[in-house]
Amino acid sequence: MNLNERIPNNVNLSEDKKLQRALEKWLPNYLDWWQQMGPDGFQQKDVYLRTAISVEPDGWANFDFVKMPEYRWGIFLKPAAPDAKIGFGDNLGQPAYQEVPGEFRNALRRIIVTQGDTEPASVEQQRELGKTCPSLYDLRNLFQVNVEEGRHLWAMVYLLQKYFGRDGRDEADALLERRSGNPDKPRILEAFNQPCDDWLNFFCFTMFTDRDGKYQLSALAESGFEPLARTCQFMLTEEAHHMFVGDTGLNRVVKRTAQLMKQGDVRELGGIPLDIIQKHINFWFSYSLDLFGGEISSNSADFFAAGLKGRYKEQDQYEDHVLVDQNFTMKVVADGKLSDREVPLRNALNEVLRGEYVRDCEKGLARWNKTLAEEGLSERLFLPNSRFHRHVGEYAGHYFDIEGNLIAAEQFEQRKADWLPTMEDREYVRSLMHPVVEPGKIANWIAPPATGIKGKPFEFEYVRL
């Protein structure tokens, strides 16, 4: 572990001069990008942040006040297991790849670039949020997520620069050139081009879209390309906090809304009505489902066969890691109606991963509904059907109601305002977003957290403004 270098790392950077030169050349461009596209207006403030300093499960992080541009973005991989083997696919049991196999070079580069692109994209999407934070605690959490997404970008750039030569260096540069929502040079995946300009969107994003990240990283953490697997395994330790921010953030919004519902009209009382929360869930859940890719996918079959991308907890929860003669049944649209179709399981692995994700999201909904019940309300929140409002895969180009029934385009248009946030809903939410920056104070539309960060109370001055 070398923490004293310009780039803290556990990959022996000082002994790999070529990589060190590439990364040190990339570093100033990264810092320029951070200044341009990172949190606007807070770069010189001291923030109580967690920094990864080790890969040991206990004590991997250090908490202290840091100015964000001085954050120690490092490169940390989970230590190599001796004799690692490819855990699934056609080469099951062969030694894991320590270098990029020539025949999978393009596929692997594409996987890494697509994952890498999401990391800076989310920082860009969240750039203006600090100005309307509901509390210092939330402001700190936003910045924690932002600096760690920055570190995730470093993790992917390390792989590109170390293992993909010239192309990898070009891809690393391009990761700093695309911009979220910019029509001329957009980010690769659509959910990462959607604006995330108020805190309800932010909590939905960290709940639903970061959670897609968890499942993608988990599938790649199984990879037979060992450097990728070890990189993703460590990223997952940070990712847990991002989803915590979203899950508990929404729970706190739901709690406050429930309290206000008992007092009178939520709008008049300055809260976020439950139907607007539901519409935001519908919006971000459906966009996040698209991130898993098509239901029937030859890529998913190729990646699995090659041992590049496995299933969620491939080693822990499955016996059969080859999947040659198995099938998977799913609903598809044929002749204007929904019908069952059987496809080879290897071609359905995006859908298998998506199913794991949906079950995980349902647990979040159960927690929020428990909050509603505890407040004595009978209203409940729910997840829309997975076919609703999709732009990628089998259901794209068709229209479904919130329960997943196939409907006509005109019917969808008529009911759209009941299901998805309208301009008016978005403007209303935005009208509530005023900064609250006094230690211990909280905005009216959200409940305070149950506990603070790292044993500190909620009243702690997490950001020194």
Residues whose CB is less than 8 angstroms from the CB of residue 292 and which lie 6 or more positions away in sequence, other chains included: 212, 215, 350, 351, 353, 354, 357
> Taking the complex as a whole, how short is the minimal distance between the CB of residue 210 and Fe ion, in angstroms?
4
Phi, psi (5° rounding) for residue 60? -80, -10
Phi, psi (5° rounding) for residue 307? 80, 25
> Taking the complex as a whole, how short is the minimal distance between the CB of residue 148 and Fe ion, in angstroms?
7
Judged by beta carbon, residue 127 or residue 152, the one nearer Fe ion is: 152
Judged by beta carbon, residue 152 or residue 389, the one nearer Fe ion is: 152
> Taking the complex as a whole, how short is the minimal distance between the CB of residue 126 and Fe ion, in angstroms?
11
Judged by beta carbon, residue 109 or residue 152, the one nearer Fe ion is: 152
Give all strands (DSSP E) within 181-270, no chain letters. Answer: none
Rounded to 5°, angle at Cα 115 from 89 and 102: 50
Q: Using CB under 5 A, which residues numbered 131 to 150 contact Fe ion?
A: 149
Contacting Fe ion (CB under 5 A), which of 152, 211, 214, 309?
A: 152
Measured CA distances, 148 to 52, 135, 185, 235 (Å): 9, 20, 23, 9
Span near Fe ion by CB under 5 A; candidates 119-127, 290-298, 313-321, 426-434: 119-127
> Taking the complex as a whole, how short is the minimal distance between the CB of residue 157 and Fe ion, in angstroms?
13
* Cα distance between residue 456 and residue 460, in whole Å: 6
* Cα distance between residue 75 and residue 7, in whole Å: 7
Measured CA distances, 431 to 153, 297, 445 (Å): 33, 43, 11
> Taking the complex as a whole, how short is the minimal distance between the CB of residue 190 and Fe ion, in angstroms?
17
State the binding string over 203-242 for Fe ion (x if CB under 5 A, else -).
-------x----------------------------x--x
Judged by beta carbon, residue 242 or residue 321, the one nearer Fe ion is: 242
**What does the DSSP assignment read for 260-328?**
HHHHS-TTTTT---HHHHHHHHHHHHHHHHHTT--SS-HHHHHHHHTTSS--TTHHHH-S-SS-SS-EE
* Cα distance between residue 99 and residue 4, in whole Å: 28
Span near Fe ion by CB under 5 A; candidates 16-24, 116-124, 366-374, 443-451: 116-124
HSE-up of residue 118 (Cα within 13 Å, Cβ side): 21
292 CB burial (10 A radius; 0-12, 13-18, 19+): buried
Judged by beta carbon, residue 119 or residue 226, the one nearer Fe ion is: 119
Rounded to 5°, angle at Cα 372 from 367 and 375: 125
Span near Fe ion by CB under 5 A; candidates 4-12, 26-34, 67-75, 117-125: 117-125
* Cα distance between residue 87 and residue 228, in whole Å: 14
Judged by beta carbon, residue 33 or residue 328, the one nearer Fe ion is: 33
> Taking the complex as a whole, how short is the minimal distance between the CB of residue 50 and Fe ion, in angstroms?
13
> Taking the complex as a whole, how short is the minimal distance between the CB of residue 105 and Fe ion, in angstroms?
24
* Cα distance between residue 85 and residue 410, in whole Å: 53
> Taking the complex as a whole, how short is the minimal distance between the CB of residue 213 and Fe ion, in angstroms?
5
Beta 327-334 vs 61-67: how paired, if at all? Answer: unpaired
Count of residues that bind Fe ion according to CB under 5 A? 6
Judged by beta carbon, residue 153 or residue 352, the one nearer Fe ion is: 153
Rounded to 5°, angle at Cα 247 from 434 and 124: 55
> Taking the complex as a whole, how short is the minimal distance between the CB of residue 52 and Fe ion, in angstroms?
12
Q: Count the neighbouring beta carbons within 10 Å of the beta carbon of residue 247.
A: 21
Judged by beta carbon, residue 149 or residue 247, the one nearer Fe ion is: 149
Judged by beta carbon, residue 193 or residue 278, the one nearer Fe ion is: 193
* Cα distance between residue 24 and residue 7, in whole Å: 8
> Taking the complex as a whole, how short is the minimal distance between the CB of residue 235 and Fe ion, in angstroms?
6
Judged by beta carbon, residue 242 or residue 309, the one nearer Fe ion is: 242
Phi, psi (5° rounding) for residue 211? -70, -35
Judged by beta carbon, residue 141 or residue 161, the one nearer Fe ion is: 141
Judged by beta carbon, residue 171 or residue 212, the one nearer Fe ion is: 212
Nearest to 275 by CA among 261, 286, 262: 261
Q: Which residues bind Fe ion (CB under 5 A)?
A: 119, 149, 152, 210, 239, 242
